[in-house]
Structure 1
Amino acid sequence: MSTYGTWLAFGAFPLIAVRVLDSSAFAVSLLEAAGLAVAAVLAVPLGPWVAYRPKLPVMVATDLVRFAALASVAAAYALGVLSYGQLLVVAVVCGTAGITFTAASGAYLKSLVRGDRLLAANGRFEATSWAATAAGPPLGGALVGLLGPVVTITADAVSHLLSALAVRRIRVGDTAAPRVPAGSSRAADLGVGWLFVRRDPVLWRLFLNSVLVGGLIMATAPLLAVLLLGEYRWRPGSTGWSSASPRSAACSAHD
């Protein structure tokens, strides 16, 4: 639910920044880049923090945090007090919570599924992600065209609330790493994790691939939104289809 909600609202912040707040190209780019960059920096120390805690409460809490942050955007818009600064803060909060949720859910999955079925379980998650990536933006664009620019933000907020309620109903035992041994530190554990990735040639190449591909895609996304919505005056539904088309092709190639 939360995956589809997130991709349904893909591009909603640039859309609101351009159409509602009349933000410049630099401001829209800053909104996308700063939100993800600050979230990534904040998420680094959260890795060890997540490791030593039960994963289920972390997943529920981060879902509720994202629900509250996104709901505040819809409420501020309805009251006529929405600002660029609020969008920026919400982008950082949701990005940080999303990274933390992903880290916790990946670890929790191992306690839910036996080793011989873990590959199939991860494959189903990937299938969900790719389907949402292809279908979410055009559906979100169509909803914006029919009901207004904040409807997808509201749908995304509700999806995180439903996700929290669903995750909370899981009854399988939780998992947490042992407490930090005396004389050790979480900062040292974080360094060990980075060294492990760096010394494994396969993991290191996969890491670099993710950084390069994701970075190049996100580098053009805010500028494309400014160009299509601002100068060319495209409708929101059209921008949604333009975002989905290359992702659909990538999905087919991936399959």
Structure 2
Amino acid sequence: MTASAPDRPVPGSTPTRPLSAGMRLLPDLLREVAFRRYWTGQTISGLGDQISSIAIPLVAVLAAHANAAQMGYLAAATWLPNLLFALHAGVWADRRSHRRRVMIAADLGRLALIATIPLAYAFNALTLAHLYAVALATGTLSVLFDVCNAPLFNALVPPDRYVEGNSLISGSRAMSQVAGPSIGGVLVQILSAPLALLADALSFAASAFALSRIAPVEPPAERKTHGQLAEGARFMVGSPMMRASLAATATVNFFTFMVAALFVLYATTVLRLDPGLLGAVLGAGSVGGLLGALCAGAITRRIGVGPTFILGSIVFPAPLLLIPAAHGTTPVVLGLLFAAEFGSGLGVMWLDIAGASIFAAIVPDNLRSRVFGAYRSVNFGTRPLGSLVGGALAGTIGLRPTLWVAVVGALTSFLWLLPSPVLRLRELPTRDRHTPAA
């Protein structure tokens, strides 16, 4: 018995067969078989990523006895490939006609790399150097995956459904974040942090399988061989909306990753939370993210996609003020941390969904991976810098003062957007997606 051929979706098409009662309850895009498989793979992979988000720092703290500076190095290693390789990866991806195959290979590579951590732990050979190497290598494969994912999303989703598509992807990420940290915290307590990472390794297999079952019509490979490296950056710098958006998101990423690099260490050593409670706190942020994804479409229709982007850039960092403010009894500390994570999760979804939809609308297909790579190299490139600065500053002035500095800095990010066209953008702009940018 042979497997059926992968589905080739027709964006915007409607199913011809009668819908079952269960299918009628799904959003329109999830009724499309190809998008549903793509979404399912991303959701499962996201669940594994969230387990790793708590398990790997706990491996570093509990098994490798990392200090504040070393936690900063570990977070930086994960995001450093964005700074080093994203621009070139975008150029390379635009020259590929089968980007989906690259994504599958990246999933399988990350599966193998993550699996080496529990293996090394089982043989008493796990070191911080090993964790740094795995973080750097998986980060590099994530860059390749994501620069290829941007045009794949546009191949699956028609332009008039970008907000819906991004809301579903972000909503699935939020659902993963609801369950992932809590599951990760429990798995760490039951199995140990290294063994909990096997769940993330298996999630990459699920993502690879889901991608193997779709075959969207991808944009053709770029045949031009000269001057490609600068084209993505040139388009980004020449667009007032993208230029202001990059400044805002790079600022908020720099400062919030100062917080992210130190949060596990701060929560476990200063606030004395055990892994199970820590996972529950991080899960609260995901509940906020899920709610943010569910209401993002309504908010963009109410106030406009640009103002939603600005609102998200404020609501994302503002609740984080409660993290350095947390002190007192355990219930009080947990209440403040739950509120911080919930509110921040709400805001980051508005920021992500509105921003991704704007970029999907204004960037032409022939430049998509290059623009995404250039944007990512700066935007995500600030993350390792923020992690390193956070670790170094905490070693000098302490964890809590560093968290205050980081959150106040993150709150300034929206100022970049106020004089830009983003403030006046009510509807997504329309353009010929296949027309090269001037």
Alignment TM-score, normalising by the size of structure 2: 0.54
Residue 36 in 1 paired to residue 79 in 2? yes
Aligned partner (choices 177, 190, 197) of residue 153 of structure 1 = 197
Letter in 2 for 1:108: L
Q: Relative to 1, partners in 2 of residues 1:68 and 1:193: Cα closer, same or farther, differing over 3 Å?
A: same
Letter in 1 for 2:209: L
Separation in structure 2 between the aligned mates of residue 30 and residue 80 of structure 1, nearest angstrom: 22
Query: Aligned ranges for residues 9-24 of structure 1 at < 5 Å?
Result: 9-24=52-67
Q: Is the 8 A contact 1:40 1:99 kept in 2?
A: no
Number of equivalent positions: 250
Separation in structure 2 between the aligned mates of residue 210 and residue 2 of structure 1, nearest angstrom: 24
Aligned partner (choices 228, 236, 245) of residue 206 of structure 1 = 245
Q: Is the 8 A contact 2:46 2:176 kept in 1?
A: yes
Letter in 2 for 1:92: L
Q: Relative to 1, partners in 2 of residues 1:103 and 1:81: Cα closer, same or farther, differing over 3 Å?
A: same
Structure with the greater relative contact order (CA < 8 A, sep ≥ 6): 1 or 2?
Answer: 1
Q: Is the 8 A contact 1:8 1:136 kept in 2?
A: yes
Separation in structure 2 between the aligned mates of residue 56 and residue 224 of structure 1, nearest angstrom: 35
Superimposed CA distance per residue, residues 103-133 of structure 1 (whole angstroms, 9 cap, x where no aligned partner): 2111012222333333322221121123323
Separation in structure 2 between the aligned mates of residue 34 and residue 151 of structure 1, nearest angstrom: 21
Q: After the TM superposition, which of the residue ranges 122-131 and 20-29 deviates more from structure 2?
A: 122-131
Residue 97 in 1 paired to residue 104 in 2? no
Q: Relative to 1, partners in 2 of residues 1:89 and 1:176: Cα closer, same or farther, differing over 3 Å?
A: farther
Partner of 2:256: 217
Letter in 1 for 2:249: S
Alignment TM-score, normalising by the size of structure 1: 0.89
Q: Percent identity?
A: 27
Q: Relative to 1, partners in 2 of residues 1:133 and 1:212: Cα closer, same or farther, differing over 3 Å?
A: farther
Query: Aligned ranges for residues 1-255 of structure 1 at < 5 Å?
Result: 1-53=44-96, 54-181=98-225, 184=226, 188-230=227-269, 232-243=271-282, 244=285, 245=338, 246-253=340-347, 254=349
Alpha-carbon deviation of 1:73?
A: 0.9
Alpha-carbon deviation of 1:197?
A: 1.1
Separation in structure 2 between the aligned mates of residue 69 and residue 110 of structure 1, nearest angstrom: 29
Superimposed CA distance per residue, residues 7-31 of structure 1 (whole angstroms, 9 cap, x where no aligned partner): 1221322211110011222111111
Alpha-carbon deviation of 1:145?
A: 1.7
Alpha-carbon deviation of 1:233?
A: 4.3
Letter in 2 for 1:104: C
Q: Relative to 1, partners in 2 of residues 1:212 and 1:108: Cα closer, same or farther, differing over 3 Å?
A: same
Unaligned runs of 5+ residues in structure 2 are 1-43, 286-337, 351-438
Does the residue aligned with 1:10 lie in a helix, a strand or coil?
Answer: helix
Does the residue aligned with 1:170 lie in a helix, a strand or coil?
Answer: coil
Separation in structure 2 between the aligned mates of residue 213 and residue 44 of structure 1, nearest angstrom: 21
Unaligned runs of 5+ residues in structure 1 are none
